[in-house]
Amino acid sequence: MSIRLESVRVRLGDTDVLNDVSLAFDARTVAVIGENGSGKSTFARLIGGLVARTSGELRVLGLDPRSQAAELRRRVALVFSNPDAQIVMPTVAEDVAFSLRADRLAPAECEERVSAALARFGLHALRERASHELSGGQKQLLALCGAFVRRPDLVIADEPTAYLDARNARVVADHLFRRTDHRLVLVTHDLALARRCDAAVLFVDGRAAAVGAPDAIIAQYDQTLRC
């Protein structure tokens, strides 16, 4: 199983934000859906190693985020709605190269990887541009480029298309769903996007209320929205 949780609880402040979550999935692409405040982002941060569990058992790619945090960081990439939080270097090419710093590659290999990634994300012509001058959509492509240049085994994306226009949302989604080796956990309110996943999980009040085929889980979510 690529992601497995057993009775996981996450307490933040005086609230159990995630409560008794037990899940196991091995699907390559998993959608995480649910109402505002249901715990989706906390779940994404938990499996990405950014939030610690209070109790329970958790394995991501077979790793314990608590005791194998460095290995998890190496194999997992996170993408969020707001690319400004993820872009750190002054120019586009430098920012992508920064993602590879932990790999300690020879300069030529680093440059090769960066150039290939920039080309793949349609950013080649912008490589010397100041990162902060990019449009929102271009910044999100840069954030994605920085995530994928590391060749992660798992990409965790929390509403990656939230601020994008329809065209850029499609471009970003197509990169996320492109058939490569990576697995994808996609938190989204875009149910059409959720339908493209192999499996879905519905969060309700900090609990994983249902897991299964996206069509069935989305239908169940629709029912709760009508109440």
Ligand X SMILES: Nc1ncnc2c1ncn2[C@@H]1O[C@H](COP(=O)(O)OP(=O)(O)OP(=O)(O)O)[C@@H](O)[C@H]1O
For Mg ion, the binding residues (CB under 5 A) are 41
* Nearest to ligand X of 95, 206 (CB atom): 206
Please give the Cα distance from 219 to 198 (Å, whole number): 15
96 class by beta-carbon count within 10 Å (0-12 exposed, 13-18 middle, 19+ buried): buried
**Phi, psi dihedral angles at 102 (to 5 degrees):** -75, -20
Query: Least distance (Å) from ligand X to the CB of residue 43?
Result: 7
> Binding ligand X by CB under 6 A: which of 29, 30, 40, 87?
40
How many Cβ atoms from other residues are within 10 Å of residue 127's Cβ? 16
State the nearest-atom distance from the C-beta of 135 to Mg ion, in Å: 23
34 binds ligand X (CB under 6 A): yes
For residue 161, state whether it binds ligand X (rule: CB under 6 A): no
Alpha-carbon span 211 to 217, nearest angstrom: 7
Opening angle at CA 191, ends 211 and 143, nearest 5: 100
Judged by beta carbon, residue 37 or residue 122, the one nearer ligand X is 37
- Residue 153 or 205: the one with the smaller Cβ distance to ligand X is 205
Question: Taking the complex as a whole, how short is the minimal distance between the CB of residue 65 and ligand X, in angstroms?
Answer: 16
Number of residues that bind ligand X (CB under 6 A): 12
The binder of 107, among Mg ion, ligand X, none, by C-beta within 5 to 8 A per type, is none
Please report whether residue 17 would count as binding ligand X according to CB under 6 A.
yes
**Residue among 38, 86, 99, 161 that touches ligand X (CB under 6 A):** 38
Which residue stretches of the chain are H helix?
40-47, 69-75, 92-98, 107-120, 136-148, 166-177, 191-195, 214-226
- Nearer CB in complex with Mg ion: 33/93: 33
**Quick check: 212 and 23 in contact, CB under 8 A?**
no
**Cα–Cα distance, 153 to 142 (Å, whole number):** 19
Closest to ligand X by CB, 11 vs 127, is 11
Q: Which one, 2 or 41, has the nearer CB to Mg ion? A: 41
Q: Residue 75, interface with ligand X (CB under 6 A)? A: no
User: Residue 42 interacts with ligand X (CB under 6 A)?
Assistant: yes
Spatial strand order in the sheet of 76-79: 76-79, 154-158, 183-187, 29-34, 199-204, 207-212
Please choose, out of 32-40, 113-121, 140-148, 164-172, the segment that lies near ligand X by the rule CB under 6 A.
32-40
> Phi and psi of 85, rounded to 5°?
-75, -15
Binding site for ligand X (CB under 6 A): 12-13, 15, 17, 34, 36-42
